[in-house]
Amino acid sequence: MIALFARDRASGVHAETPKEKNARLNKTGDIKVETIEEVDQLLASNDITLEKQQKNNDDDDDGLDDIQVLSPTCFSPVQNSSSKKYKTKKRKHEIEDEDEPEVEPESFEKVIMRAVKDVASAMREGNKIFENSHHRVYTGDEIYKELEPMDLEPDELAEALMFLSRNQSDAGTLFRVPFKIRKSLLKKMMGASK
């Protein structure tokens, strides 16, 4: 409100209220504009419209267009071709809107619930992709628990533990095969690395 009505009424500069300005424009029908800023203010407040007119004087052949300032009370839709076009476009849109079947709007709750379900589904899918893209890293305790039932000698157990800790991909391969072939596979893996 301050931006609209912050003119200095005490000093008399721009002291006209919107009601007074409207009454003056209706009474005179003439707008006196001296600066571009005044034109901008009148355009912003929709007090005027600008209309481009071609000069047809033989005396003045510079080919420049004259811009005429019209108040909203002194022009009709017949004078302003752009307003006529706007009205026909508006009518066309109204006719198109009538032809389209109306779809009942969904309740806000249904829209929110569907959006939350979509987000949850996307998160689940992302988690599956993430799990498949990263290999499992086995801890020392997990490796030891898998090696213990193989009945390895204590020094073989220590070597196998160190080998599988360093080579996580081999540990994953070893722990995914059937238990009865694990011991022979482990010895081949360790022998091939030497």
Tens of pLDDT, residues 42-83: 777 776 776 666 655 555 555 555 555 555 544 444 444 555
Residue 113 lies in a domain: no
For residue 76, what pLDDT is reported? 46
Residue 153 lies in a domain: yes
Residue 61 lies in a domain: yes
Residue 180 lies in a domain: yes
For residue 77, what pLDDT is reported? 44
The last residue of a domain, from among 51, 81, 111? 81
Query: Percentage of the chain with pLDDT > 70?
Result: 57
Q: Is 76 in the same domain as 146?
A: no
The last residue of a domain, from among 33, 57, 81? 81
* CB neighbour list of residue 99: distance below 8 Å, 6 or more residues apart: none
- Let me know: does 144 contact 158? Beta carbons within 8 Å: no
Rounded CA-CA distance 55/62 in Å is 9
Q: Is 7 in the same domain as 76?
A: yes
Query: Percentage of the chain with pLDDT > 90?
Result: 16
- How many domains is the chain partitioned into structurally? 2
Residue 49 lies in a domain: yes
- Let me know: does 137 contact 168? Beta carbons within 8 Å: yes
What is the extent of the structural domain holding 64? Answer: 2-81
For residue 78, what pLDDT is reported? 46
Instruction: State pLDDT tens for residues 102-149.
Output: 556 778 899 999 999 999 999 999 988 887 777 778 888 999 998 999
Q: Is the pLDDT of residue 31 over 90?
A: no
Residue 184 lies in a domain: yes
Residue 65 lies in a domain: yes
For residue 137, what pLDDT is reported? 83
Confidence band, pLDDT 50/70/90 cuts, at residue 22: confident
Residue 172 lies in a domain: yes
Rounded CA-CA distance 183/181 in Å is 6
For residue 113, what pLDDT is reported? 93
The last residue of a domain, from among 81, 103, 129? 81
For residue 159, what pLDDT is reported? 92
